[in-house]
Amino acid sequence: MRRKLAAGNWKMNGTAASLAELETLKSLLPANAPDVVICPPAPLLFRASEAARDTGIQIGAQDCHMQDSGAFTGDISAAMIADTGATHVIVGHSERRAAHDEHDRDVRKKATAAWAAGLTAIICIGEALEDREADNTLDIIAGQLAGSLPDHVSAANTVIAYEPIWAIGTGKIPTLEQIVEVHDFVRSKIVTRFGADTGDMIPLLYGGSVKPDNAATIFEAANVDGALVGGASLKAADFAPIITALANS
C-alpha cells in the first residue's frame, strides 16, 4: 500500500515560540496516524528538528538551492537542510514559481539536489485560474510532470503534490470530480513513465485550501494519498483533524 502523508507548509510564518505547536500536535495525533511532516521557515529548521525528536513528526524545508554550495547569498542547499535533521523539502511550489520565476527545469535540478542530500522531494505542480478556465489543466499538468520530475524517481525519494494555484489560500475548492480527474491523470502519467512498480507507489498529495471541514471528502478519492496544507497547519488544533481524516480514509 502507498504511504499516506500529511505535510504542513508554514510558509513565512512562525517564530521559535511557534514550535510549541509540535508538542501539542503530537498529543492530538491518532494512534493510526499517517506520516506527518511540518515545513517551517528555514531559520527554525534545526530547532524544529530538535523539538520533533521522538514525536513521530518529521521536519521539511520549503525550498532548496540546486547547487551544493557557492556564492548564492540568502539561499540554502539541500545538504544544509539535511544537516539540521530535516528529512523533506518542498520544491516547485507555485509561490516559488511565480514570485521567483522558477521553471520546470529548476524544479528538476532542485529535486535531484534533494535526493543527493538524502532528502525526500515534495514536487509541486498545478494550474493557474486562466488555465482551468481555458480547459488546459491536463496539458499544463502533463508539461510540469515531464519537465519537473527527474528520471530516477522512486517512492522512497519523491512525493508529488497537486496544488491548483487558484485554490491556494483563496478558500476556493475544486470539486471532488476535478481533483479526481487530475490525480488519476497524474497517476497514469507516472505509471506510464516510470512503470507500475514505481508509479503506483508514489504518494500524491492534494493542496489548496484544505481545511478540517473538507478534508474527509477530499480523501475519498482513490489517488489522493494525503495533503499539503498551508494555513491550517500553523495550529495543531486545526491540523490534527485533517491528519485524523487522512488516517481514517
93 among known catalytic residues: yes
The residue assigned the cell 513565512 is 12
Which among 65, 88, 93, 183 is annotated as catalytic?
93
3-state helix/strand/coil string of 104-121: HHHHHHHHHHHHHCCCEE
Whether 172 has a pLDDT exceeding 90, the answer reads no
- Taking domain 5-247, whether its CATH number is 3.20.20.70 is answered by yes
Q: Return the amino acid letter for 200.
A: D
The residue assigned the cell 488519476 is 184
Among 136, 141, 221, which residue's Cα sits nearest to residue 175? 221
pLDDT digits (tens, 9 = 90+) for 227-245: 999 999 999 999 999 999 9
pLDDT digits (tens, 9 = 90+) for 87-112: 999 999 999 999 999 999 999 999 99
State the CB neighbour count (10 A cutoff) for residue 220: 12
Which residues is 42 bridged to in the sheet?
none
3-state secondary structure of 138: helix
Helices (H) and strands (E) in the chain, counts: 11, 8
* pTM score: 0.97
| Cell numbers describing residue 10 | 508554514
Q: Indicate the pLDDT class of residue 157, thresholds 50, 70 and 90.
A: very high
163 among known catalytic residues: yes
Pair 91, 63: CB distance under 8 Å: yes
Q: pLDDT at position 1, please?
A: 85
Q: Indicate the pLDDT class of residue 16, thresholds 50, 70 and 90.
A: very high
